[in-house]
Chain A
Amino acid sequence: MRRPAPTRRLLAATTGIVALGLLVAGCTPTDPNEPVGEPRNGGTLTYASGDAEPSCLDPHVGGNFPQALVSAQYLESLVSRDDAGQIIPWLAESWTPSDDGLTWDFTLRGDVTFTDGTAFDAAAVQANIAHLQDPTTLSSTGYLALGKVASATAVSPTVVRFTLTEPDSALLESLSQPWLAMESPAALERSQDENCASPVGTGPFIVQSWVKQNAITLVRNDDYVSPPADAGHAGPAYLDEVIWRFIPDSASRYAALQSGEVDVIDNAQPDTIVQAEQSDSIEHLDSPRPGAANRVELNSGRAPFNDVRVREAFIRSANVDDAVSSLFQGTATRSYSALSSVEATAVSNAALFDYDPSAAAKLLDAAGWNESDAEGYRVKDGVRLSVEFPVSTNQSIPAEQSVFEQIQATAKETGFEVKLAPMDLSSWYAALASNDYDAVSAPYTKVGPDVLRILYHSDSIVPAPSGYFANLAQVSDPEIDALLTTAARTTDAAERNSLYADAQNRILEGFYILPLYDQQNHFLLRSNVVGLRTLPTVAVPTLYDAWLNR
C-alpha cells in the first residue's frame, strides 16, 4: 500500500490547522456544498478543456463529445433528463405519442427567441430535423439517433409532429442529447463553414468569437428565458463571459488551474484529483457519462476470439481490479456491466469477471491452445496466441493506457501475447475498418439503454458510409438482435427494462466485453466557482447556474 509522504502529512496537518483557524475566525473557505450567500452577477470564467478542439462548433455536424461540452453553453434541446433519469421539459413543454407510437406531437414554449432574433417555433424544429437528416450536413450521432424519424412537420406555430417509421422507445432520450440541439433556422441557412464558426441557439451564452487553436469566447445572453426544468435559477446567466480554452496536456492543465489562470478543467487525471481533494482551493466534480461503460471489446468475428472459451480465458486472465485501484487511486469504481452505472437499466454481474488465471489456463487447454513456445505464449497449430490491440491515444487518458499495459502484463502470465499499438485517431479508425484488431476500447455515449442496440446489434457490424461500425465486438447473435429490436419498439417501461436486462445478460455471458469502469468525467474547479453542475443527459457541464464568489 502507498503511504502519504511525511511532507504531505505535514502539509495536510498544517492545512487542517489553518482551516480550523479560519473557521474559528468565522471566515470559512468557500465550498460549493455549503451556503455561500447570494449569487453574484458578473465576471469572466475560464474553462480549460483537455478534449480535442472541435473542428465545428455545430454539434449537428459529426457529433462528438468535445462538441457537446462547449455547445451545451449556447444550444438547447427539446427535452432534458433529471437526476433520476426521467425526461423533463426544456424547449418543448409537453409531448403526446399516438396509441400506435408512430406519431408524436410536441408542444413548444412560445416565448423563446434565438439569439439572432429568429423566433423559436415549430418551423424551426422542422428545419433542425431536416438539417440533421440532410446527408450534406454529415451528421453522425444526431443522424443515427433520428433513424426511425420519417419527418417532423409544423402543425401550428407551437406544435410540431414527428412521424416515425416504427415505434421508438428511445425517441425522447435521443432528443435530449446536445447533438440534437435546436439552432436558428436563419443561421442554418448560411454556409456550413459560417455556421460551424458561430452557431446560433437559444442558450444562456452566445458564441462571440473563436480563435482556433486558442479559445472560444462566449458572452451572456441577456434575453435568456428558457432554462431546463431542473435548473437552479431563472433569467439570464450570472457570468458576463466565458473563455473556453484548450489545453491538451493534463499536467499543464492542472498547473493552470492551481495558479488560478483557469477556473475549471475537465479530464482531470486521478493523481491530480487525489491532490485536489486534499486542497482547500480546488473542488472535484465527478459525473460519469451515460450510455456504455468503458470496456475492452473482444472481436468475436475472427480467430482467436471467435471461440467463446478463448474470450472467457482472456477475461479471466486480466487482473483489472488491481489495475483500476492502483491507477485510478480510488477515483474510479470497477464496472461489471455493459452500461454506465448512471443508467437505471444497467445489469451488473461481477461473478463473470473474476481474475482467475488457473481457470483461464484450463479454458485455453480445452480450446486447443495447449502448447507453449519459448517465450511462454500459448500456441495452437504453430500459431501464437496473439491479441492485436490498437489504442487510440486521443480517446484514452494516460491512466487508461496504463490499465491496458497491466492487462497485457497479467494476460501474458496465462499465455496471451497482447500487442498494444498506440495510434492517432485516423490510423485507429483505419485499423478497425480493415478488421485488423482482436481487442479494442471505444467510448460510446448515448442517453439511455438504446446504446446497446447501436453497440451489439448485428446491423451495426455493417460499416456506415464513413467506414465506422459501432459493434466492434462483432456480436452476431439472432437472440440478442431480437431482444434489442423488440426493446427499441416497446414503450411500456417495465417490459422494455426486462428486455434490455435479458440482452445485457446474454452479452455479458457471451464474454464479448471486459467492462472496466464508467466513462470517467472528472472536473476540477477553483473553490470560488459556485453552482457548476453537469446536465444529467450526457454529463456535460453547464455554466448557466455558475457564479464567481470573489
Chain B
Amino acid sequence: MSELEVQADFAARAGQPGRPRRLGVAETAAGVLALFLLVSAVAPHLVAPGDPLGIDPLSAFAPPTRAHVFGTDESGRDIFTRVVHGTQYSLVIGAAATAIGLGLGIVLGTLAGMLGRVVDFTVNRFLEVLFAFPGLLLALLFIVIFGPGVATATIAVGLSTAPGYARIIRAQLITVRSAAFVEAATVLGRTRWQILLRHILPNTLAPLFVLATLGIGQAIVWAATLSYLGLGAEPPTAEWGALLSAGRTYITSAWWMSFFPGLFIVLTAVTATVLGRSIDSRMRHA
C-alpha cells in the first residue's frame, strides 16, 4: 500500500461505525492506572499489606529504598502504604463530590429548563451569583460554616461544582426540548412529566457521563487542596492532600514525603481526564 492508501484506509476505519478505534498508549496507561487505583481503593491490603498508621520512630525520614519504595515519614510510617491506603479517601471523595455536584446540577438545570421563564430567570440569576465566586472559595465558605472534616469537604466540593453542571444541563435541555421527537411526543398527547422523564432527560444526561468522569479528577484535586489547607481529612489519616501537607514541612530535607502523594494526585487527575476524553471521542464517533 502506498502512504496515501494507508491514510485513506485509516481514515475509513476510523470513520467506520461500530468498529472500535485502537487504544492509544495514553489510554492503555490510564486504564491500567485506573485499575490499580480501584484495587487500591477497594482492597488496599492486597497492594500494600502494612499498617498505614503503624509507626517505627527509629526508621524515620528514610529515603526511598527497596524496603520502603517511597521512603518513610517523620514517624517512620511507610509512605507507599499510606499513599495506597489513601486512595480510597480520594476516590470516594472524588466520586461522592461529583455525584453531589451532578445531582444538584440536574435538579437546578431541569428546574430552569422546564418550568418556564420566571423559574429559569431566578435559577439563572442564582447561578450567576454562585459563578461570581471562584469554586474553591465557595467550598471554603461552606467549611467555615460547617467545620472541617472529610464529610464537609466532600459536600463543599460537590456544592461548588454544581453551578457548572446546572448551566450545561440547562443548555442541553433547551436544545433537546425543541427537537422533533419531543414535538412528536407532545402531539401524541404525552404529559409534561412523561416527556421529561422518557424523552428529554435520557437525551440530556448521556453527554454528562463524560463530564462526570472529567469532574472526578477535578474533585480529587480540590479535595486534596482542602486537606492540604487543613480543612479536610485530619492527621494522621492517610489522605493524599493531608500527606502532601505533612510533607511540606520537611520538603527541604525529605522530598519523598510530599513528592509521592503529589505524584498520585496528578496521576489520578490525569487518568480521569484521559479516560473522560477517550469516552467522549468514542461517543462522538459512535
Contacts and interface: CB of A to CB of B under 8 A. Distances in A.
Residue among B55, B246, B251 facing the most chain A CB atoms (10 A cut-off): B55
A258 to B, nearest CB: 8
Contacts of B230: 393, 422
Q: Is the interface of B mostly helix, strand, loop or mixed?
A: loop
B252 A325 contact: no
A484 to B, nearest CB: 36
Given A255-B252, A398-B246, A405 B57 contact: no
B251 A251 contact: yes
Interface stretch (B59-67, B111-119, B276-284): B59-67
B76 A326 contact: yes
Interface string A406-449: 10111000000000111000000000000000000000000000
Contact of A421 (B62, B75, B234, B253): B234
A327 B74 contact: yes
Nearest to A327: B74
B53 interface: yes
A222 to B, nearest CB: 40
A118 interface: no
Contacts of B246: 398
B72 to A, nearest CB: 9
Interface residues of B, number: 25
Contacts of B234: 420-422
Interface string B223-252: 000000010001110000000001011111
B235 A2 contact: no
Q: Is the interface of A mostly helix, strand, loop or mixed?
A: helix
B54 interface: yes
A272 interface: yes
Contact of A405 (B61, B75, B248, B249): B75
B269 interface: no
Contacts of A25: none
B48 to A, nearest CB: 18
Nearest to B74: A402
B57 A326 contact: yes
B61 A2 contact: yes
Contacts of A269: 249-250
B254 interface: yes
Nearest to B236: A405
A326 B75 contact: yes
A345 interface: no
Contacts of B58: 1, 322, 326
B253 A271 contact: yes
Given A251-B248, A422-B235, A405 B55 contact: yes
Contacts of B76: 326
B60 A2 contact: yes
A456 interface: no
A460 interface: no
Contacts of B236: 405, 408, 420
B74 A272 contact: no
Nearest to A403: B75
Given A272-B252, A274-B253, A326-B75, A409 B53 contact: yes
A422 B147 CA distance: 12
A251 B258 CA distance: 13
A280 to B, nearest CB: 17
B252 A5 contact: no
B249 A398 contact: yes
A1 B254 CA distance: 15
Interface string A378-403: 00000000000000010000110110
A275 interface: yes
Nearest to B53: A409
A417 B57 CA distance: 20
A275 B250 CA distance: 11
A325 B252 CA distance: 19
A537 interface: no
B57 A323 contact: yes
Contact of A251 (B53, B54, B74, B252): B252
Residue among B60, B230, B248 facing the most chain A CB atoms (10 A cut-off): B60
A271 B55 contact: no
Contacts of A1: 58
A282 to B, nearest CB: 12
Given A405-B75, A410-B55, A250 B60 contact: no
Residue among B61, B234, B249 facing the most chain A CB atoms (10 A cut-off): B249
A254 interface: yes
A103 interface: no
B55 A409 contact: yes
A425 to B, nearest CB: 13
A393 B252 CA distance: 21
Nearest to B249: A398
Contacts of A405: 55, 75, 235-236
B143 to A, nearest CB: 12
Residue among A254, A272, A322 facing the most chain B CB atoms (10 A cut-off): A322
Contacts of B59: 2
B153 to A, nearest CB: 15
A202 interface: no
A2 B250 CA distance: 15
A323 B58 CA distance: 9
Contacts of A409: 53-55, 75
Interface in A1-37: 1-2, 5
A271 B54 CA distance: 22
Contact of B254 (A271, A323, A398, A422): A271
Nearest to B250: A271
Interface in A312-329: 319, 322-323, 325-327
Contacts of B57: 319, 322-323, 325-327, 406
Contacts of B63: 5
A406 B76 CA distance: 10
Contacts of A251: 248-249, 251-252
A249 B249 CA distance: 8
A436 B228 CA distance: 27
Interface in A253-280: 254-255, 269, 271-272, 274-275
8 contacts: A250-B249, A271-B253, A272-B253, A322-B57, A325-B57, A326-B75, A398-B246, A408-B236
Q: Which 5 A-B pairs have the closest CB atoms?
A: A326-B57, A322-B57, A326-B60, A271-B253, A398-B249
Given A326-B57, A398-B249, 14 more contacts: A1-B58, A2-B62, A251-B248, A251-B249, A269-B249, A271-B249, A271-B252, A271-B254, A274-B253, A322-B58, A326-B76, A327-B60, A405-B236, A408-B236
